Amino acid sequence: MRAFVVTGPGAAGVQQVAEPVAGRGEVIVTVERAGVCGTDAEFYSGHMTYLHTGQAAYPVRIGHEWCGTVTATGPGVDRGWLGRRVTGDTMLGCGHCRRCRGRRQHLCADRYEIGIRNGWPGALAERLPVPVKALVPLPDAMDPTLGALVEPGANALRAVRAAALSPGERVLVAGPGTIGLLTALIAAAQGAEVHVLGETTDFAREIGIEHAWTAEDLPDVRWDAVVDASTGAGIPARAVQLVEPGGRVVFIGLAAQASMLDTRELVLKDVTAVGVLSGSGALTGTVDLYASGAVDPRPLVAATVGLDDADAVLAGKRPPAWGTAPKVHIDPVPIFSGRFPS
């Protein structure tokens, strides 16, 4: 089958690879749509932390935001899964350790991460092996754009849950990328007064986020919670400075270098700080949000291109006609390849 493979920094392309075979407790998913995210770009650039800690190594088959249809089942899997449209958890724990038994498989020391960690192949391919325990069913009527946005949406939903907002409370989301904007949309759907902070604000306003600010015009108001979905090394400390005493700060963004934070401010303001890793535990809730129409993230997708175009996307080539929406999707079916706009 065809799969997109990153062989080194700035070196990648479509290759013919062996067909996946479903092992015990696994299925094969024919991929309908996959998203490209910042982690994929870091593998392409060579900056991904796991490459330097031994948790990943080239060649890497990337892609962890996906949806598709189950087309084969392995031993021990109910064949009723065949033909079902699904997405799934990125984090695949060992299933035996204390963390996995405590439903924290996303923190398993020996976990695989689809398209990211310990060599599990990713979804920028025609087919993908997935443990059945990681699958999340999708409604038949849910289009593939929504299906491939469930995984990033689940990260955002966990961030909103961690902020513990009551209706009418005010939240500041720093970083108007995909996760930040999804966080804003979900928080607004749950009744919060949402504000977004970024270097640019035009797109946030385009999708209906009325309160969008730069650092220069951010109003001096009470912030009941602050969510850092940015990549700025200075934002975590700023978030703690901005949040109301007794409020909550949620960290879901990652900077390229260490972020300095004075814990005395946390203590003296009685602030609760929460880190969020992955969408594990929130995928079903995200499917429900999308299916109900409470949240429609499709405007965040700038374009859908073919598998052969993934190299150009990761290299940062972006036709002006795409506008400023942050997400690009890949359709791995060969008929769609080669349509990258000139």
Task: Transcribe 108-143 into DSSP letters.
Answer: -TT-EETTTBTT---SSBSEEEEEGGGEEE--TTS-
* pLDDT for position 336: 47
Q: In degrees rounded to 5, what are phi and psi of residue 174?
A: -95, 125
Q: Where are the beta strands (DSSP E) in 19-100?
A: 26-36, 65-73, 85-88, 91-92
Evaluate if residue 341 carries a pLDDT over 60: no
* pLDDT for position 256: 83
Confidence category of residue 257, pLDDT binned at 50, 70, 90: confident
Please give the Cα distance from 298 to 236 (Å, whole number).
Answer: 29
Helix ranges (H only) for 164-309 are: 178-189, 202-206, 235-242, 263-268, 283-292
Other beta carbons within 10 Å of 109: 9
3 state DSSP class of 29: strand
Q: What does the block give as tokens for 35? A: 């998203």
Work out whether the CA dihedral 51, 57, 62, 68 comes out positive or negative: negative
Q: What does the block give as tokens for 31? A: 């991929």
Query: Model confidence over 6-29: pLDDT tens digits?
Result: 999 999 999 999 999 999 999 999
Work out whether the CA dihedral 55, 64, 206, 285 comes out positive or negative: negative
Query: Model confidence over 206-225: pLDDT tens digits?
Result: 999 999 999 999 999 999 99
Evaluate if residue 334 carries a pLDDT over 70: no
Mean pLDDT of 113-117: 98
Number of helices and strands in the chain (H, E) = 11, 17
Mean pLDDT of 98-124: 97
* 79 CB burial (10 A radius; 0-12, 13-18, 19+): exposed
Which residue type does 337 have? S
Looking at the chain, the whole-number percentage of residues with pLDDT higher than 90 is 96
Please give the Cα distance from 321 to 335 (Å, whole number).
Answer: 22
Evaluate if residue 337 carries a pLDDT over 90: no
Looking at the chain, the whole-number percentage of residues with pLDDT higher than 70 is 97
* pLDDT for position 54: 96
Other beta carbons within 10 Å of 101: 11
Mean pLDDT of 145-169: 98
Q: What does the block give as tokens for 63? A: 């892609």
Evaluate if residue 243 carries a pLDDT over 60: yes
| Count of residues making up the chain | 342
Evaluate if residue 342 carries a pLDDT over 80: no
Domains and CATH numbers, the chain: 2-149+297-336 (3.90.180.10), 152-275 (3.40.50.720)
Work out whether the CA dihedral 301, 303, 309, 311 comes out positive or negative: negative
Confidence category of residue 340, pLDDT binned at 50, 70, 90: low
Please give the Cα distance from 104 to 100 (Å, whole number).
Answer: 5
pLDDT, mean over the chain: 95
